[in-house]
Structures are given as structure tokens and as C-alpha cells.
Amino acid sequence: MHFELLTKDPNTRARRGRLHTAHGVIETPIFMPVGTQATVKSMTPDQLRDLNVEVLLCNSYHLFLRPGQETVARLGGLHRFMGWDRPILTDSGGFQVFSLSSLRDITEDGVRFQSHLDGSTHFLSPELAVDVQIALGSDIMMILDDCLAYPATHFDAEHSMKRSLAWADRCHKHWAGATNALFGIVQGSIYPDLRRESAERLVAMGFPGYAIGGLAVGEPKPLMYEIIDQVEPYLPEEMPRYLMGVGTPADLVEAVARGVDMFDCVMPTRHARNGWLFTKDGHIVIKHSKYKEDPDPIDATCGCAVCQTFSRAYLRHLFIANEILSSILNTIHNLYFYLDTIRRIRQFIEFHRFDEILTQTRRTGAH
């Protein structure tokens, strides 16, 4: 993997780059749709390609449990298994360790957890987290980290951060020589001293990319932005920066302004299945009765195939009738909206006018 920094906005820390991988080039800033179990729910690979999705995120924790990384490897790797010929980033399972806290026990050696599928017991070490992702064949892998909920005391955050650093070192040593890229993850909760120590020690290990983890876990938005501001100066300019699990379209704009290159979030796809649709003027909830006879598209300014073809009334009918097509069309629209937002962000950076889209986003409080 190779990251190419193309230009920077003169008025903010926004960056325009290009990430070269074995399965294609990723233009940055980039938004990665989440295909947790080797699929973006309700979407085919061809539909994703039609939307010009450049990279997908899959989750190694879920694929480790079902169907198993060895099965995927025997079937030609994750790309062939899911019929996706473009780049894939895999998460290590650290966030699932956090979100399924009732089913796991963390030690300094790794995580012992019960499967949420059948209750079987497993142990995930930093080394196994790397081995699983290598077997899957993803282009970009993540270290195993310890993600804390918000709020956390400084004592707990320091202990968690140091555990994550120890795991990062083990992941790095086990990964050495593999062709897949491995990203380090900065932890430290809301504490600037811990975030700085985490970033500096990860950079000293020498990863080809760095992520900011432990955000979007309940902290207020201004605090999240403040933490990004605190971490960014300690991350190498020549390496990609990835903000994990974030966020709304407005979050993308704010984080890009702070020097972030990569994003993922379940929001556009999960919200689509629940009838929450993004527009330039905010969101609409399509099940509301006021849309029963509404002939307008979701967003008259949107260029997606759904807005060019279907009315709000039809989309409401599909949702109320619990038709599968509802999830499909809603997901197409929401993903298009996110991807179009990130394309516009890239264009504004290229023309050194990113501050315009930033000002507009802050003025309207959009999305």
C-alpha cells in the first residue's frame, strides 16, 4: 500500500490524497460502506460498483465466527468469496469486544468471549487478530485494540490505552513481512496526554496508516472534534488517517477539516432500513403519514436513480408494506448521498475552496 498526498486546502487541514492498494486506487477523503458479514445489507456488488463505491469495510470478528476465516481462505479469499474486486478494509474485532461487553473478559493476553451466535467460547489474541485478517486477504487490516465507553476515568483510560499499545506492538511484530497493510489505532479516551502518548508510541512502531479509535461512543460532538484536533498533529502527514465509526455527513466535513482521510459508518445503511433518509435539508422519516400522497422525490437535487424515478409516496408504501425493495431503494439513496458528499468534499479541496463547504455545513447545521 502506498499513500500519495496530492494537495492541501490552504485555509484548513483538509487533504486530498490517493491510496494505492493491490485491488485498486482509493481517492481520499473516502467513505467506506460497512459490509459487516461480507455483504452490505440489501445491496449486490454490482449495485455498489454502480454507486462507485471504492472500498468496503468488513468485520473479521463476525467472519471469524461465521463462516470462519479458514473457509473463506480455501474459497479464494474474501474478495472472491463476496464477489468484490475492489479494496477491502477489515476491522480486527476490537469494537465488537467493546459493544458485546457482557460476553467477554479482557486480559493482558487478549480477549476471551462467548459467541453471540451459539454461546461457544473463543480467545482472540493480537496475533490471531492479524492471522484472521491475513487469511481473509483484506487490503488494509486493523490492530486489535481496547475500546472504552464514555465516560471513563483517567485511570481506566490510561490502563486501556497502554493495553492497546502492548497489543499494537504484538500485532506489528506478528504482521511484519505480510503484504496486507496494518493500521495502528490511537486510543486514550478524552484525555489529551493519553492520546498524545498513544499516537507518538504508535508512530514510533512504524505503521503504514493510523486510525483514531474510541470516538462516537457517547461523547458530545464538540468533544469528539476537540479530540481529533488534539491527535492530528502527532500523526505523520505522509500517512493516511482514518476516523473509525464516524459519522453523519456533517461529521465528515468537520473531520476532513481536521485532517482526516478515511471514514466508515453503518448510519447510511442502517438508517435506510429504518426509513430514515438523508437530504440536503436534513433527514426525512419516510413512514410519516404526510408522505402518503407526496409525489416529490426524496431530494429534488439528488442525482441518484431512486430520486430520478420514485416518489416519496411510493417509498412510503414500500416501507409500510415491509417490502424488501424498500431497504434496497432507501440504501441506494443514502449511500449515494454519503458518497456524493465525499466527492464534493474532494472537489472543494482540489479547488482550494473547502472552507466554503465547511462554512455552509456549520451555517445550516445540516444532517
Cis upstream peptide for 247 (omega within 30°): yes
Rounded Cα distance between 171 and 165, Å, is 10
Rounded Cα distance between 23 and 89, Å, is 11
Contacts of 286 (CB under 8 A, 6+ apart): 275, 276, 277, 298, 312, 315, 316, 319, 330
Rounded Cα distance between 145 and 183, Å, is 11
> Cell match 514510533: residue?
204
**Helix, strand, coil shares of the chain as percentages rounded to 5?**
45, 20, 35
Catalytic residue among 91, 139, 251, 261: 91
Check if 264 is active-site. yes
Catalytic residue among 145, 264, 299, 340: 264
Rounded Cα distance between 154 and 169, Å, is 22
Query: What is the 3-class SS of 101-129, one letter each residue?
Result: HHHEEECCCCEEEECCCCCCEEEECHHHH
Residue count of the chain = 367
Residues tagged active-site: 91, 264
